[in-house]
Structure 1
Amino acid sequence: MRTTRVIIGLCVATALFAAGCGTTEEAGGNEPAASGGEPVTVTDSRGKEVKLDAPAKRVAVTEWNAAEYLVSLGVMPTAVSDIKGYGQWSSAAPLDDTPKDIGTRGEPSIDTLGSLDLDLVVVTDSLTEGALEQVEAKIPVIVINGGDAKDSIGSMFANIDLIAKATGTEDKAAQLKSEFDTKLAEGKAEVDKLGATGEKVAFADAWVDSGTVSIRPFVKGSLVADVFARIGLESPWQMEGDPVYGLAQADVEGLTKLGDVHFWYMANESEGDAFADALANNAIWKNLPFVKNGKVERLPDSLWMFGGPRSMEQYVDAAIDALKA
C-alpha cells in the first residue's frame, strides 16, 4: 500500500481505481448461450467492445475497488490480486476463502490467470506494460479507467454499471445506488441534527519515507471528500488535486494554512500511524489549532479510500462518529 500511495502522491496520472461506462446488448440471435444466459457485449474504457457468450460468472480482478464492486454485486471473485492487502485495507465487502491470489495489482500472474477457467478479467490501466496484452490473448478483459475528480461519485457508479452489465447483476447495481443515496440522506440529516452542517473537515493520509512525513490531502474531487460534502461537511484544503483522484501533496508546514478545522485521517496497523508517531514531537504539528483543540481524529482502520458504495457508506458512519467524539 505504501508503494501505491507514493506513486499516487508523486505521479498524478497513476490509476488506482476506476470508472468506465458500458452498454449491454444482444450480440447474436435469440438462442441462449451454451453456458446459460444471453450473449453480452459491453464497451470498456478503451471504447473497445468486449463480447461474452453469457454474463460472466468466473471473474478475476486486479484492483481492490473492482473486487469490492463484485462482492457488493453478489459475485464472489474467482481471483484477486494481493488478497492479504485487500483484507487489511477493505472491510466493506470481505472475500470468502474461495478466491485465488494472482499476485500484485500491477503485474498479476499470467500463468495463474490462465489456469482458472475464467469468463472475464477486470483490470485497470495501471498494469505494467505488456501485461494487458498477455492476459487478453487468453481471456476476455474489461479495462476500467481511473476516476474523475469532476464527478467522483458518478464515476464510481458508471464503473459499477459496466461490471454489472458484464455479470448480469444490473438489478443489484440499482439496489446499491438506492441504498447509497439513502445512506447519504441519513448522514446529512444526522450532521444537521448535530449542528455540524457546513463545518470544515480536512481529510488526509500520510506515510514516512527516509524520516520525512509525506501528507496526502484528499481535496475536493476525491471520493471521500465528495461523500463528506454530500452529507454537509466542507473541505478546507485550498489546493488543487489531480484530475483523476483529487489527491494533492503537502508537508506539515502546509497544514498551518488550514486553521481551526476538523482534521481526520486514515492509517493502518500494517504501516503505522505517521501522524501520531512521526509527528508526535514535531513543534509545528503540536501547535496547529486543530491539534491544540483536540479536533484530530484517526478514522477506523480498513476503510478503503478508493472503494465502492459500501466503503463510502462506512465513511458516512465514521464521519458521524467523529463528530460525536
Structure 2
Amino acid sequence: MRITRMILGLTAAATFFVAACGTTEEPTSNAAATSEAGPVTVVDSRGKEVKLPHPAKRVAATEWNGVEHLVSLGVMPVGVSDIKGYGQWVSAGKLDGTPKDIGTRGEPSLDTLGSLGLDPVIVTDSVTEGALEQVEAKVPVIVIKGGNAQDPIAGMYAGLDVIAKATGTETKAAQLKSEFEQKLTTGRAEVEKLGALGQKVAFSDAYVTSGSVSIRPYTKGALVSAVFGKLGLETAWPVAGDPAYGLAQADVEGLTQLPDVRFWYIANNADGDPYQQELANNAIWKNLPFVKSGKVRRFPDSLWMFGGPKSMEQFVDAAVGALKN
C-alpha cells in the first residue's frame, strides 16, 4: 500500500492507527540510553499521567514520528510498525536491525506488542474508538499527537519532549531542538543570500487510485510548510488543510489556481512518481505556468514529511538545494 494513501486516511480513519540528515551520533543501546533513575511520570497528549517505575528502556512505536524521536534520542526501539516502509521513507533515524516488526501502522499486532516486555508503547492520537483500550490492556501506552496544524513545530517538539521525559533523555532532546533552530537560522541566511526571501512555494505529494492522480497540498498548517516559513518562504496554496496535519486534497485541474510559483514535491521510488509518470503527457499539467517555466523540483527520497527535528533539518537542506538548482 502506498504510504501516501495510508496518511490520506487521517480524515476518515477506518483502521486501527492512522498516521501521522542522519542523527548526529549513533544511537546507544537500550540499556545505555537511560539512567538507572527512579520512577518517571509523564503527561501524554490525552492529559493522562503515565507512571513508569524507571526511565523507559524497552520501547516500541507504532507511528514513524515516534520511531524517529526515539532513535534521535539515542533509544533504539525494540518494536516498530512496518519496518520496510520506515526504511523507505525515513532516513533521519536509521534502525540498527534489532527492532521487531509489530505489523502495519494501521493495525499493529497486539500479540507481538504483548510479547516484547515493553516499558511503554508510543502511539499517536489518531486511533479509532476502542483501539487504544485494546493496546493499553496489553502494555502501558503513551500517546503523542500526530500533528498540530495550529503550530506544527511546537507540536513536533511536544511529542519529542514527552518521549524524552519517558526515556530519561531530556538533555539530548534539548540538544536536538537547539541544533534544529540553528539549522533554521543558517538555512534562512542561505535563502536570503539567494535572494529568495518572500518567494512562494507550493509543496505536495501525489498518489494514484484507480488510474486517477490525487494531489495532496501541504498547506500553511503542515510541518514542512512551517519549516519553509521559518526559512522565509511563503506557502502558495490557496486552500485550507485539515486541523491536524495541514493537508488538503486537489487534482490536476486544481493546480490551475496556482500562478508561476516554485512547485516542490516529494515522491519515492518504492511507490512511483505520479508527476513524472501518470501526468507526464497530461495537457493540463504540461501547460501549467510553473511546469512551462521549469520551476518543478522533486525533493530527495526518504525525507519523512511528518518526522522530527532531524527529518526537518533534511527539508531545510532540500529547500536550499532546490533554490540553488
Q: Distance in 2 between the 1:146 and 1:5 partners? A: 11
User: Over residues 118-165 of structure 1, what are the superposed CA-to-partner deviations in whole Å (9 max), with x where a residue is unaligned?
Assistant: 111111233454432232123211112231111000010011111100
* Contact persistence 1:259–1:290 (CA under 8 A): yes
Show the counterpart of 2:49.
49
- Equivalent residue runs for 1:53-132 within 5 Å: 53-132=53-132
Kindly state the Cα deviation for residue 2 of structure 1 after the two structures are TM-superposed.
3.8
User: Over residues 8-36 of structure 1, what are the superposed CA-to-partner deviations in whole Å (9 max), with x where a residue is unaligned?
Assistant: 3767xx9523xxxxxxxxxxxxxxxxx93
* Contact persistence 2:18–2:126 (CA under 8 A): yes
Show the counterpart of 1:269.
269
Residues 1:242 and 1:66: Cα distance change in structure 2 (over 3 Å): same
Show the counterpart of 1:28.
none
- Equivalent residue runs for 1:282-301 within 5 Å: 282-301=282-301
2:244 alignment partner AA:
V
Say if 2:169 is the partner of 1:169: yes
Of stretches 133-142 and 233-242 in structure 1, the one that deviates more from structure 2 is: 133-142
- Equivalent residue runs for 1:172-321 within 5 Å: 172-321=172-321
* Contact persistence 1:105–1:127 (CA under 8 A): no
* Contact persistence 1:191–1:232 (CA under 8 A): yes
**RMSD between aligned residues:** 1.5
Show the counterpart of 1:7.
9
Instruction: Tell me the SS of whatever aligns to 1:37.
Output: coil
Q: Distance in 2 between the 1:73 and 1:215 partners? A: 34
Residues 1:163 and 1:129: Cα distance change in structure 2 (over 3 Å): same
Q: Distance in 2 between the 1:127 and 1:95 partners? A: 25
Number of residue equivalences: 306
Q: Distance in 1 between the 2:118 and 2:193 partners? A: 49
Q: Distance in 2 between the 1:304 and 1:199 partners? A: 24
Instruction: Tell me the SS of whatever aligns to 1:254.
Output: helix
Show the counterpart of 1:154.
154
Show the counterpart of 2:38.
38
Residues 1:162 and 1:264: Cα distance change in structure 2 (over 3 Å): same
Q: Distance in 2 between the 1:132 and 1:10 partners? A: 17
Of stretches 62-71 and 115-124 in structure 1, the one that deviates more from structure 2 is: 115-124
Instruction: Tell me the SS of whatever aligns to 1:274.
Output: coil
* Contact persistence 1:55–1:168 (CA under 8 A): yes
* Contact persistence 1:205–1:216 (CA under 8 A): yes
Q: Distance in 2 between the 1:131 and 1:249 partners? A: 27
Kindly state the Cα deviation for residue 7 of structure 1 after the two structures are TM-superposed.
1.4
Q: Distance in 2 between the 1:3 and 1:213 partners? A: 12
Show the counterpart of 1:27.
none
Q: Distance in 1 between the 2:59 and 2:10 partners? A: 27
Kindly state the Cα deviation for residue 78 of structure 1 after the two structures are TM-superposed.
0.7
| Runs of 4 or more consecutive aligned structure 1 residues displaced over 3 Å after TM superposition | 8-11, 126-131
Q: Distance in 2 between the 1:100 and 1:190 partners? A: 41
Q: Distance in 2 between the 1:158 and 1:296 partners? A: 33
1:16 alignment partner AA:
A
Of stretches 104-113 and 255-264 in structure 1, the one that deviates more from structure 2 is: 104-113
Q: Distance in 1 between the 2:177 and 2:266 partners? A: 25
In the superposition, the TM-score normalised over structure 2's length comes to: 0.91
Q: Distance in 2 between the 1:130 and 1:246 partners? A: 26
Kindly state the Cα deviation for residue 216 of structure 1 after the two structures are TM-superposed.
0.3
Q: Distance in 2 between the 1:126 and 1:101 partners? A: 20
* Contact persistence 2:10–2:126 (CA under 8 A): no
* Contact persistence 1:39–1:53 (CA under 8 A): yes
* Contact persistence 2:50–2:142 (CA under 8 A): yes
1:292 alignment partner AA:
K
In the superposition, the TM-score normalised over structure 1's length comes to: 0.91
Q: State the identity %.
A: 69
Instruction: Tell me the SS of whatever aligns to 1:219.
Output: coil
* Contact persistence 1:205–1:267 (CA under 8 A): yes
Kindly state the Cα deviation for residue 172 of structure 1 after the two structures are TM-superposed.
0.4
- Equivalent residue runs for 1:16-35 within 5 Å: 16-17=19-20
